[in-house]
Amino acid sequence: MTNERWSRRRLLKLTGGSMLALAVAPVLIGCNDDDDPTPTATSENGGGGAGPTATSTAAATEAPPAASGGRVRIAAGGSATEVFNPFNNSGSAGFGGFYHVYDSLAWLAGSEVRLGVAESIEPNEDGSEWTIVLKEAIFHDGTPLTSADVAYTLRTVADPEQAPTLAGGFSVMDVANIATPDDRTVVVPLTTPRGDFLDAELAIWSIVVPDGSLGGEGAIGTGPFKLDAFEAGSSTRMVRNDDYWDTPALLDELEIVVINDPTARLNALKGGEAEFAWEITPAAAKAEEGNEDIVINRGGAPNSRALGFAANTLVPPFDNPDAVRALKLAVDRQAFVNTVLLGFGEIGNDLVGKGLPGYADGIPQTERNVEEAAALFASAGITELTMLTGEVTAGAVAASELLVQQLAEAGVTLTLDELPADQYYADFGRLFSTPLQTAWFINRPADVHLTSFTGSNSGFNITGLAGEEYDGLLASAQTAVDRDERLGFVQQAQQYAFDNDGLVVWGYQEDLNASVPGLNGITYTQSVPRFHSASLEA
């Protein structure tokens, strides 16, 4: 049961897999707690600025010029064995295709929840039943979108066999009783009331496929682009859907080309083989800062990964709060950001969710204090530590090496036990019992993060933070239908975690993408670039 709940997190594991197979997969950022989204008819084209900020020329700003056309090639990581199945996918290339071929019921523009092909998504009084009303849209083969398609989609995504990485989050639905009172209405009962069902689940994944479909090479959706050709591990070609129910896209053609090495992706951009490089390294971004032929798009904290170390508060020596305190004081967070991220990131304060709604900005920043750290380590009798690490995300090992140096300054000898990235998650028992390990999380709103990775119900609690009081806070943060009430609980939970958890978040690694100048109007949803309203100047 628990196991099912968190199986969505396997996605996180996959994103951190090997540098060869998968580059970055979409970041599952959460969303704000807007209980009553009031979408406009053209929700997709509404207000810009939701995406990452650009360092040089404008990347995501105002509505682009009407006449654009042209072809954009996106260099992205992807797997050779993908099948274009939105229910079961891990590489960037796949997601890049899904978010153009399909529409979602709701999606995240930056940290803001927007409605896609849904006219409205409303809970009942206590959040135990949600009603989805659809807009009028047609699939690429001309058939209209109906409630049956949505019901099928939701049933499929809740099936662990069909959607192993997604089903966990949707297991809260009472699948057998999903109802379709008419062609445009779907009623979804939940097994437990959830005030955050739209924000925490539908906004993160609600791609709508036609009844009975699992995608594939001839996949059709209702999205702004039609799938023209798909070859796993090499390319996905899409052409504009001129009959789109909303404003049609400006670009004629979109092609995702698979390049798994970030340096090669940038090379493709520089060599004129691509117009957009999806995920480049900090070093590359820094090296190209003065290059006028390249625009570096920085994601900022809202589009980032939280990087740090996890001390398990249930395992010696970190069952001693002084040891945890010493560790937190020994870390020079700014040095990590400067060295590991080359400055392309933001400093962390041991909590996940910076830059996103609900984050506890009010808690003062933890500063380094080597003397106090050394004294605390000494009084706890700690002179040697071992840390489990591996390149589970870019920079994880580099950060671990830096921690070795910083702990040495506090009088502690840290030994690294490095595992191959692809085997890091193979032994669960070890991860749950090791005192100290490297840790990274997709930066999501604090409530989404804490309910997933801490508390007694979490399936992947590597710091051991739990207890009656804390579990109560988390439960309230999920069920409360009233937004302000919910945020109150989230604040309390963060304060509790800050005081008691063994997690050190030294910083946030922001998404770094690169494009040619003149490619404007890209919006980002969970780190996936959307080119629906993008334009390309000749």
Site for other proteins in 296-335 (CB under 8 A): none
Closest CA to 178 of 207, 198, 158: 158
Determine, following the binding rule CB under 8 A, whether residue 179 of this chain makes contact with other proteins: no
Q: What count of other Cβ atoms lies within 10 Å of the Cβ of residue 428?
A: 10
CB of residue 395 to other proteins, shortest distance in Å:
9
Site track for other proteins across 262-281, x = CB under 8 A: xxx--xx-xxxx-------x
**Residues 340-359 within binding reach of other proteins (CB under 8 A):** 340, 342
Give the CA-trace dihedral at 73, 78, 82, 87, to 10 degrees. -90
Only segment of 11-19, 117-125, 241-249, 345-353 that touches other proteins (CB under 8 A):
11-19
Amino acid in the structure at residue 259: I
119-145 as b/e: b if 16+ CB within 10 A: bebebeeebbbbebebbebebbeeeeb
Check: CB of residue 352 under 8 Å from CB of residue 440: no
115, 232, 329, 446: which one binds other proteins (CB under 8 A)? 232
3 versus 38: smaller Cβ distance to other proteins: 3
CB of residue 438 to other proteins, shortest distance in Å:
11
**Residues 67-96 within binding reach of other proteins (CB under 8 A):** 75, 79-83, 85, 88
DSSP-assigned letters across all residues of 184-221: TEEEEEBSS--TTIIIIIITT--B---TT----TT---
- CA-to-CA distance for 61 and 523, rounded, in angstroms? 9
Longest pairwise C-alpha distance within the chain: 73
306 versus 480: smaller Cβ distance to other proteins: 306
CB of residue 246 to other proteins, shortest distance in Å:
26
Omega of the bond leading into 86 within 30 degrees of 0 (cis): no
Only segment of 8-16, 54-62, 363-371, 445-453 that touches other proteins (CB under 8 A):
8-16
**Residues 36-65 within binding reach of other proteins (CB under 8 A):** none
Determine, following the binding rule CB under 8 A, whether residue 192 of this chain makes contact with other proteins: no
Only segment of 50-58, 115-123, 137-145, 260-268 that touches other proteins (CB under 8 A):
260-268
Site track for other proteins across 130-169, x = CB under 8 A: ----------------------------------x-----
Check: CB of residue 90 under 8 Å from CB of residue 106: no
192, 234, 379, 413: which one binds other proteins (CB under 8 A)? 234
229, 379, 384, 409: which one binds other proteins (CB under 8 A)? 229
23, 421, 481, 528: which one binds other proteins (CB under 8 A)? 421
CB of residue 480 to other proteins, shortest distance in Å:
29
Only segment of 117-125, 184-192, 422-430, 520-528 that touches other proteins (CB under 8 A):
422-430
**Residues 442-471 within binding reach of other proteins (CB under 8 A):** 459-460
136, 183, 228, 537: which one binds other proteins (CB under 8 A)? 228
190 forms beta bridges with 173
Give phi and psi for 115, each to the nearest 5. -90, 140
Determine, following the binding rule CB under 8 A, whether residue 422 of this chain makes contact with other proteins: yes
- Residue 335 CB-density burial (10 A; 0-12 exposed, 13-18 middle, 19+ buried): middle
- CA-to-CA distance for 470 and 461, rounded, in angstroms? 13
396 versus 497: smaller Cβ distance to other proteins: 396
Determine, following the binding rule CB under 8 A, whether residue 384 of this chain makes contact with other proteins: no
- CA-to-CA distance for 487 and 466, rounded, in angstroms? 19
57, 143, 405, 413: which one binds other proteins (CB under 8 A)? 405
**Among the residues of 38-82, which ranges form H helices?**
none
